[in-house]
Amino acid sequence: MTTETARREQSRLKNGLQTLLIMGGLALVLAVPGYLLAGGLGLLMSLGAAVVGALAGSWVPARVILAEAGAGLVERHQAPTLYRLLDALYRRAGLAGPPQLFYTPSPDLNAFAVGTRHDGGIAVTAGLLRTLTMRELAGVLAHEVSHLRHGDTRVMSMAAAMTRLTLFLTTVLQVSLLLMLPMILAGELRLPWGVLLIVAFSPTLSTLLQLALSRHREYAADLEAASLTGDPQGLASALAVLERRHGRWLLALFGRHPPAGPEWLRTHPSTRERIRRLLAAEAPAGHAPPWPVGDPAHSPMIDEPPGPLGRGYWLRR
């Protein structure tokens, strides 16, 4: 095992442990208000509701997003080069199912994974295809394939479900405390300071943990993408392009770059730090690029882009 391979394995193990710790923290924050409301039964019901909500919501929100974006399913004959690239990335990632590519006519530069490793796919926008080179696009697609490989859509759905349920339960606790206020003022009940602290801080703590989980999964997907393509510089270049385009949009909107918020309030890590980590990673030895040699500098457009499939298709899917 080479030094770089060992470092990648250590990084994967570290990210896996961080994910488990953060998910455990989210479960603990959720369990406390559930226990205060209904004891052990409330604890079990709150955790069970979070799991059911995550399983039900890991694909439905993606379908809604695709429907609202006017997405269409790209057939292989419409984008043979892109599908050859996806075939290579899926094979290297160990994904058995055939790749699915969705297209949205949006001018924004965006790509996102939908569904799971068994029935999911990757959506790309027209703006992304027009802007990135084939090498950069390979890095972006590898990043999304990594999300599918590790089930990040389901993990983040579960985290979001826990956060929403924590907010709901603490709201119920707040209402209960308001109803008990006359009894507290009359001296019949003592003011439950511990409950007040939980009501005050649980939603914020759950949100911060969810944001931390999102940043960790982005870092892990970046390193995994570099391993799949054997080209960390390709994804780093794509991130730089996306950052420049985003910065120009903010400059046109505000007249100046707005101050960046604290790192712990972001869903994604800073682009500068992501690029730094990618450039610090070494390309795997003997790992050929997954895109065909001799392709044009820019990624090919989709021949006859598909029209929107409509809300009915996505809801029936």
Question: Tell me: the pLDDT tens digits for 231-247?
Answer: 899 999 999 998 887 65
The closest alpha carbon to 308, from 90, 104, 128, belongs to: 104
Q: In this model, does residue 254 exceed pLDDT 50? A: no
Average pLDDT over residues 206-217: 88
Three-class SS state of 222: helix
Q: Would you say residue 198 has pLDDT above 90? A: no
Cβ neighbour number for residue 159 with a 10 Å cutoff = 26
Tell me whether residue 144 is one of the annotated catalytic residues. Answer: yes
CB 71 within 8 A of CB 102: yes
Backbone phi, then psi, for 73, in 5-degree steps?
-85, 125
What digits encode the pLDDT tens for the residues 22-73?
Answer: 888 888 888 888 887 777 777 788 778 777 766 665 555 566 677 777 778 8
Calpha distance 219→240 (Å, rounded)? 15
> The domain containing residue 169 runs over which residues?
3-316
User: Scanning the structure block, which residue is given the tokens 């290579």?
Assistant: 88
User: Lowest mean pLDDT: which of 80-94, 146-160, 209-223, 265-279?
Assistant: 265-279
pLDDT at site 292: 60
- Tokens describing residue 77: 């004959």
Q: How many structural domains are present in the chain?
A: 1
Q: Please say whether the beta carbons of 78 and 100 come within 8 A.
A: no
279 Cα distance to chain centroid:
22
123-180 pLDDT tens trace:
999 899 989 988 999 999 999 999 998 888 888 888 888 888 888 888 888 888 788 7
Q: Facing residues of 101 across strands?
A: 74, 122
Q: In which residue are the tokens 């068994």 written? A: 118
Tell me what the mean pLDDT of segment 66-81 comes to: 82
Query: How wide is the angle at C-alpha 277 spanned by C-alphas 235 and 136, nearest 5°?
Result: 5
Average pLDDT over residues 78-99: 90
Model pTM score: 0.79
- More confident call, 143 vs 283: 143
More confident residue, 265 or 267: 267
Above 70 in pLDDT, residue 260? no
Q: Which of 68, 75, 144, 188 is catalytic?
A: 144
Helix (H) or strand (E) holding 123: strand 121-125
Average pLDDT over all residues of the chain: 78
Spatial distance between the Cα atoms of 166 and 205, rounded to a whole number of angstroms: 10
Write down the pLDDT at residue 259.
47
What's the confidence (pLDDT) of residue 253?
41
Choice between 61 and 275, residue whose per-residue pLDDT is larger = 275
